[in-house]
C-alpha cells in the first residue's frame, strides 16, 4: 500500500511540475525569446569580465582574492535568487514595497510567458535575465573592499545585501506596482538598482572597514593592466546585453539602447583621455578603460529613453566628473576605495540618473517620459528623489548589515595576513608562481 501511495505522490509531483514550470501556454515570440536569451548570456559574460577588470587593477598578492569575490557570487546569488530572491523582487506586490513569495523556489516560473513581466518570452528566461543583474551588483562593491575584507565576511555580506537591499529596490523600480515606479522614476537598465545602490554601499563599506595598511604609504599600482583591458572589453561587449536586453524584445527600443550605449562609452573614453592628458601630461590605458566603463554606467538608466546626441553629451560629461572626484575629492576626503567603485559607479550613475531627467524623450520611447529639455522639469525632480531614496536606503542597510556581521565575525583580515596577501591567506594559492621554485 505504501509503495502505491509513494508512486501516486511521485506522479502528482511530476505532473504538477510539468504543468506549472514547463507547460508553454500563451503566445511566445521566437525573435524576442532568442534576443533576450542572447542578452542574458551577454550579461553573464560581464561577471567574469568584471573579475578580470578588478583582478588586473588589484595588487599582485590580492589578485585571485579580488577575482574570487566576484566569481563566488555566480554561485551564492544564483541559489538565493531561485529560492526567494526573484520572488522578493518580482513576486505579487505587497504594499508597493516588496514582492510576495509566490515565485519562491521558481514556482510557476517556466516556459509559459507572464503577462505582467514577460508577455512574449518564457517567464523563466525573464527570471534568468534578471538574475544576471542580481549577481553583478554586489560584485561591484567588492572592488571597494579589495585587499582587506575577509572572504567569509564578504560572502555573508553579499548574501544579506542582495536580499535586503537589491531585491526590494528592484521591486520598487521594476516590480509591478513598486512605489518608485508608480512615482514615475525612470531607470531603464539599472542606474539606480545596480550602480547607485552598489556605489553607495561601497562607500559605506570602506568607511566601516577603514583603509588598507599601506594606504598613502606605498604605491598600490595595478599589477596587470593587460588583464584589466581584457576584462573591460568583456564588460563593454556584455553591456550591449545589459542595456539592449532591458527592452525585453527585439525591437527599436533595444536597438536604441545598443546604439546610445556604444556612443556614450566612446565619448566618455575620449573625454577621460583628454582630461588625463591635460592634467598628467600623458594618456594612460587604464584611464581610457575607466572612461569607457563610466560612460557605459552613465547611459544605463537612460539607454531606452534618450537619443544619440544626448548620449554623446552624457558620455562627454561623465568622465570629467568622475576623474575630478577620484583625483581631487576622494584624495581630500581620504577614504580608501581600492578600485574606485563609488567614484566610477556611484558618481557616474548619479549623473546618469539626473541626465535621464534632462534628456529623456517620449519621441524615443512613448512608454517613458519627457525630461527637462523636452518640456517636463518635473522629471528631473523625480529622478533626483530616486537618487536620494536609493542612497539613503542602500547606505543605511549596508551600515546595519556590516555592523550585525561584525558581532559574529571579523570583517577584515589582520595586519599579518594583509601583508602576506589575501590570495595565500584566504585561499591558499597564488596567481603567479616563480618558475625557479619548481
Q: pLDDT tens, 152-204?
A: 999 999 999 999 999 999 999 999 999 999 999 999 999 999 999 999 999 99
- Predicted TM-score (pTM) of this structure: 0.93
Q: How many CB atoms are located within 10 Å of the residue 411 CB?
A: 21
C-alpha distances out from residue 296 to 235, 319, 362, 406, 422, Å: 9, 11, 22, 35, 30
Mean pLDDT, residues 407-433: 95
Mean pLDDT, residues 75-101: 97
The confidence score (pLDDT) of residue 236 equals 98
**pLDDT beyond 60 at 303:** yes
The answer as to CATH 1.10.3430.10 being correct for domain 24-426 is yes
H runs (alpha helix) in 91-196:
123-145, 151-161, 167-174, 179-183
Who contacts 384 (Cβ-Cβ below 8 Å, separation ≥6)? 354, 357
The confidence score (pLDDT) of residue 146 equals 96
- Tens digits of residue pLDDT in 337-384: 999 999 999 999 999 999 999 999 999 999 999 999 999 999 999 999
What is the pLDDT of the chain when averaged over all its residues? 93
Residue whose C-alpha cell is 572597514 = 209
- Tens digits of residue pLDDT in 59-84: 999 999 999 999 999 999 999 999 99
The confidence score (pLDDT) of residue 435 equals 55
Backbone region of residue 190 per phi and psi (left: phi > 0; alpha: psi in -120 to 50; beta: other values): left
Spatial separation of the C-alpha atoms in residues 370 and 387, rounded to whole Å: 18
Cα 149 to chain center, whole Å?
A: 20
Q: List the end-to-end C-alpha distance of the chain, in Å, as a whole number.
A: 65
Spatial separation of the C-alpha atoms in residues 85 and 384, rounded to whole Å: 27
Contact 189, 365 (CB under 8 A): no
163: its cell numbers: 536580499
432: its cell numbers: 603567479
Q: Could you tell me the sign of the dihedral formed by the alpha carbons of 323, 324, 328, 331, in that order? A: negative
Amino acid at each position: 500500500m505504501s509503495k502505491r501511495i509513494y508512486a501516486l505522490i511521485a506522479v502528482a509531483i511530476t505532473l504538477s511540475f510539468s504543468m506549472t514550470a514547463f507547460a508553454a501556454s500563451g503566445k511566445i515570440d521566437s525573435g524576442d525569446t532568442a534576443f533576450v536569451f542572447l542578452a542574458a548570456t551577454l550579461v553573464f559574460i560581464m561577471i567574469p569580465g568584471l573579475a578580470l577588470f578588478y583582478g588586473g587593477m588589484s595588487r599582485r598578492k590580492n589578485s585571485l582574492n579580488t577575482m574570487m569575490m566576484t566569481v563566488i557570487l555566480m554561485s551564492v546569488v544564483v541559489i538565493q535568487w531561485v529560492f526567494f530572491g526573484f520572488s522578493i523582487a518580482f513576486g505579487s506586490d505587497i504594499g508597493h514595497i516588496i514582492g510576495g513569495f509566490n515565485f519562491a523556489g521558481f514556482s510557476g516560473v517556466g516556459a509559459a510567458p507572464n503577462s505582467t513581466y514577460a508577455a512574449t518570452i518564457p517567464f523563466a528566461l525573464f527570471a534568468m535575465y534578471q538574475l544576471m543583474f542580481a549577481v553583478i551588483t554586489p560584485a561591484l562593491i567588492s572592488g571597494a573592499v579589495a585587499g582587506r575584507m575577509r572572504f567569509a565576511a564578504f560572502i555573508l555580506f553579499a548574501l544579506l545585501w542582495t536580499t535586503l537591499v537589491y531585491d526590494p529596490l528592484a521591486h520598487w523600480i521594476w516590480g509591478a506596482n513598486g512605489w518608485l515606479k508608480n512615482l514615475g522614476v525612470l531607470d531603464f537598465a539599472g542606474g539606480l538598482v545596480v550602480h547607485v545602490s552598489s556605489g553607495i554601499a561601497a562607500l559605506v563599506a570602506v568607511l566601516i572597514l577603514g583603509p588598507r595598511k599601506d594606504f598613502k604609504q606605498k604605491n598600490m599600482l595595478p599589477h596587470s593592466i593587460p588583464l584589466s583591458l581584457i576584462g573591460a572589453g568583456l564588460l563593454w561587449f556584455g553591456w550591449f546585453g545589459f542595456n539592449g536586453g532591458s527592452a525585453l524584445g527585439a525591437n527599436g527600443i533595444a536597438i536604441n539602447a545598443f546604439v546610445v550605449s556604444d556612443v556614450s562609452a566612446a565619448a566618455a573614453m575620449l573625454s577621460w583621455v583628454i582630461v588625463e592628458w591635460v592634467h598628467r601630461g600623458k594618456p594612460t590605458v587604464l584611464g581610457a578603460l575607466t572612461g569607457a566603463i563610466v560612460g557605459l554606467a552613465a547611459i544605463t538608466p537612460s539607454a531606452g529613453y534618450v537619443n544619440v546626441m544626448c548620449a554623446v553629451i552624457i558620455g562627454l560629461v561623465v568622465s570629467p566628473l568622475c576623474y575630478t572626484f577620484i583625483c581631487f575629492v576622494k584624495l581630500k576626503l581620504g577614504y580608501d576605495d581600492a578600485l574606485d567603485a563609488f567614484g566610477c559607479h556611484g558618481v557616474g550613475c548619479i549623473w546618469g540618473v539626473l541626465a535621464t531627467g534632462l534628456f529623456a524623450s517620449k519621441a524615443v520611447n512613448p512608454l517613458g517620459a519627457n525630461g527637462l529639455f523636452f518640456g517636463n522639469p518635473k522629471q528631473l525632480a523625480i529622478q533626483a528623489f530616486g537618487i536620494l531614496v536609493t542612497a539613503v536606503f542602500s547606505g543605511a542597510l549596508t551600515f546595519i548589515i556590516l555592523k550585525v556581521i561584525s558581532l559574529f565575525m571579523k570583517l577584515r583580515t589582520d595586519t599579518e595576513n594583509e601583508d602576506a596577501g589575501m590570495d595565500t591567506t584566504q585561499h591558499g594559492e597564488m596567481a603567479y608562481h616563480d618558475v625557479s621554485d619548481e
